[in-house]
Amino acid sequence: MKTFLLLIILTVTQSAFARKFVVVERSESNKQIYQSIELQDLESSHSFDGKYFKIVKGKSNEAISFNEEESLLLKAATAYYHLTLARTYFADEMNSSYVRGLEKVTVRLDLSNQFSELGHFAHDNNSPQFNNALTIPEGSGLASRNIGPWGKEIWFRPSKKVHLSTIDVKNTNHEFDGLAKRFRDQIHMQTFTRFLSQLVLTATQDNYVLTTEDALRTVGVTLFLELAYRSQDTVNRMFTRKWYWLDSALVPEIIYHEYSHIALSDHLELTHSTPVIEGMADYFAGKIAKSPTLAKKIKKYNTFNGKDAQRKNQYRMEFETNQWANTDFVFGLLWQVGDVVGDEQEQFIYALRREVTTDSTIRGQLVEGILKTCKNLCDDPFNKRIQLLKLLHFKKL
Ligand SMILES: [Zn+2]
């Protein structure tokens, strides 16, 4: 009897702060669906304050209450749920003691302020951000201006409808598929990336021009943005009306991408965006999703055989510069390296972070890091290294 009572008490205390919410999930075919899911590890019975994540709105430090309006609850619950999945992946599957030891991460929804290294939040009027997401490094604050220290945070920007006429796109009559195909077929991959980036970045004024600074430290790999757009159930209507927007807190792959930045930050500093740091985050976003459909799409994307496919898949000097931070060349490369490595590929790419930094060059340190990691970890280093060298050669590296 005593044991029975104890069991009941334990069950009650353990489940007290698990609660069901509707979240955005992916269907088997990778479409956006809504599902009721029990959120785990909540430390509060009335707000999104958990053991590992606290979800707040804007600049507030109070967790979002369960009594908020439905659209905010959907975003908070979706972010909380997918962040928990991503954390579990790194803590358990990658066996990351760094992730297990991390302090609680504050996650901000609907925050449009730019990040300021000194002030945490830049001034409200300083080029507000929409339709993207960002992971920021910790800061010590400024006592003289009453700004307290903060830890690593993930920010999801508010979504904002952008009309095609405010974006420099020549042919506005195509729907998304047409646009995507046209850009894929005729123009460099980078132009397509820039095109999509323009859609989801600031775009607050007419004749908006994308600057390099705007492109820094924002979620931004072609494939994931494209998939995010495609998976939105309203996608066709949306594009016919020529309006674009993205609620990044509702896109599982973007959530995984941002958490991956946190999980990899023991070696990859969060200060700025480079092809290496973005490519690494995207690799894990793709793996955490555990979707065979997504994997198939990535494979197809990597081996895209349209016009100029060869050139698009091959290394170019421009990939090294920040201007091309949104390139997904590194992502494609890592994915293919994983295919060569085989079974232990996720551990392999995770270990690779030790050999590189945010500022590593692709042709230099990344290539060396891949070969060195193989020497240490590949099951058949001699033959696997030959296969990797073949792949690197094929990529013109
Ligand atoms: Zn990123």
Q: What is the 3-state secondary structure (H, E, C) of the chain?
A: CHHHHHHHHHHHHHHCCCEEEEEEEECCCCCEEEEEEEECCECCCCECEECCEEEEECCCCCECECCCCHHHHHHHHHHHHHHHHHHHHHHHHCCCHHHHCCCCEEEEECCCCCEECCCEECCCCCCCCCCCEEEECCECCEHHHCECCECCEEEECCCCCEEHHHCCCCCCCCCHHHHHHHHHHHCCHHHHHHHHHHHHCCCCCCCCCCCHHHHCCCCCCHHHHHHHHHHCCCHHHHHHCCEECCCHHHCHHHHHHHHHHHHCCCCCCCCCCCHHHHHHHHHHHHHHCCCHHHHHHHHHHHCCCCCCHHHHHCCCHHHHCHHHCCCCHHHHHHHHHHHHHCCCHHHHHHHHHHHCCCCCCHHHHHHHHHHHHHHHHCCCHHHHHHHHHHHHHHCCC
pLDDT number for residue 3: 57
- Shared domain for 197 and 104, answered yes or no, is no
- Asked, for residue 3, whether it belongs to a domain, the answer is no
If you measure from the C-alpha of residue 238 to the centroid of ligand 1, how many angstroms do you get, rounded to a whole number?
Answer: 25
The count of structural domains within the chain is 2
pLDDT number for residue 300: 72
CA distance 63 to 55: 5
Strand partners, 24: 34
Q: Which of 166-170, 256-260, 277-281, 322-326 has the highest mean pLDDT?
A: 256-260
pLDDT number for residue 164: 54
If you measure from the C-alpha of residue 254 to the centroid of ligand 1, how many angstroms do you get, rounded to a whole number?
Answer: 8
- Shared domain for 75 and 33, answered yes or no, is yes
- Asked, for residue 381, whether it belongs to a domain, the answer is yes
- Asked, for residue 173, whether it belongs to a domain, the answer is yes
- Shared domain for 97 and 32, answered yes or no, is yes
Show the tokens assigned to 136: 């920021």
- Shared domain for 116 and 167, answered yes or no, is no
Q: Which amino acid is at 210?
A: L
- Asked, for residue 248, whether it belongs to a domain, the answer is yes
- Asked, for residue 188, whether it belongs to a domain, the answer is yes
Q: Identify which has the larger pLDDT, 219 or 363.
A: 363
pLDDT number for residue 218: 42
If you measure from the C-alpha of residue 146 to the centroid of ligand 1, how many angstroms do you get, rounded to a whole number?
Answer: 30
Q: Is the pLDDT of residue 26 over 60?
A: yes
- Asked, for residue 1, whether it belongs to a domain, the answer is no
- Shared domain for 104 and 37, answered yes or no, is yes
Q: Identify which has the larger pLDDT, 90 or 8.
A: 90
If you measure from the C-alpha of residue 276 to the centroid of ligand 1, how many angstroms do you get, rounded to a whole number?
Answer: 10
Show the tokens assigned to 334: 């890592």
- Asked, for residue 5, whether it belongs to a domain, the answer is no
- Shared domain for 175 and 48, answered yes or no, is no
Note the Cα 93 to chain centre separation in Å.
19
pLDDT number for residue 232: 59
If you measure from the C-alpha of residue 217 to the centroid of ligand 1, how many angstroms do you get, rounded to a whole number?
Answer: 6
If you measure from the C-alpha of residue 324 to the centroid of ligand 1, how many angstroms do you get, rounded to a whole number?
Answer: 13
Q: Which of 223-237, 283-297, 368-382 has the highest mean pLDDT?
A: 368-382
Instruction: List, in order, residues 6 or more apart from 242 with CB less than 8 Å away.
Output: 163, 164, 165, 172
Last residue of a domain, one of 156, 176, 195: 156
- Shared domain for 121 and 239, answered yes or no, is no
If you measure from the C-alpha of residue 114 to the centroid of ligand 1, how many angstroms do you get, rounded to a whole number?
Answer: 15
How would residue 200 be classed by pLDDT, with cut points 50, 70 and 90? Answer: very low
- Shared domain for 254 and 223, answered yes or no, is yes
Please name which of 382, 379, 378 lies closest in space to residue 370, comparing C-alpha atoms.
378
If you measure from the C-alpha of residue 221 to the centroid of ligand 1, how many angstroms do you get, rounded to a whole number?
Answer: 8
Please name which of 74, 92, 67 lies closest in space to residue 32, comparing C-alpha atoms.
74
Name the residues around ion ligand 1, CB cutoff 5 A.
278, 281
Q: Identify which has the larger pLDDT, 236 or 153.
A: 153
Q: Identify which has the larger pLDDT, 222 or 374.
A: 374
* pLDDT tens per residue across span 238-290: 444 556 677 889 889 889 999 999 999 999 999 887 889 888 998 999 999 99
Q: Is the pLDDT of residue 205 over 60?
A: no
pLDDT number for residue 17: 83
Q: Is 322 in contact with 273 (CB distance < 8 Å)? A: yes
Q: Identify which has the larger pLDDT, 185 or 71.
A: 71
- Structural domain range at position 372: 162-394
How would residue 5 be classed by pLDDT, with cut points 50, 70 and 90? Answer: low
pLDDT number for residue 323: 56
If you measure from the C-alpha of residue 335 to the centroid of ligand 1, how many angstroms do you get, rounded to a whole number?
Answer: 17
How would residue 317 be classed by pLDDT, with cut points 50, 70 and 90? Answer: confident
If you measure from the C-alpha of residue 85 to the centroid of ligand 1, how many angstroms do you get, rounded to a whole number?
Answer: 18
If you measure from the C-alpha of residue 281 to the centroid of ligand 1, how many angstroms do you get, rounded to a whole number?
Answer: 6
If you measure from the C-alpha of residue 219 to the centroid of ligand 1, how many angstroms do you get, rounded to a whole number?
Answer: 4
- Shared domain for 152 and 170, answered yes or no, is no
pLDDT number for residue 224: 66
- Shared domain for 27 and 44, answered yes or no, is yes
If you measure from the C-alpha of residue 220 to the centroid of ligand 1, how many angstroms do you get, rounded to a whole number?
Answer: 6
Q: Is the pLDDT of residue 196 over 80?
A: no
- Shared domain for 51 and 150, answered yes or no, is yes
Residue entry with tokens 């369960």? 66
How would residue 298 be classed by pLDDT, with cut points 50, 70 and 90? Answer: confident
Last residue of a domain, one of 156, 171, 206: 156
- Asked, for residue 320, whether it belongs to a domain, the answer is yes
Last residue of a domain, one of 138, 156, 174: 156
- Shared domain for 70 and 200, answered yes or no, is no
Q: Is 240 in contact with 177 (CB distance < 8 Å)? A: no
The rounded mean pLDDT for the chain is 79
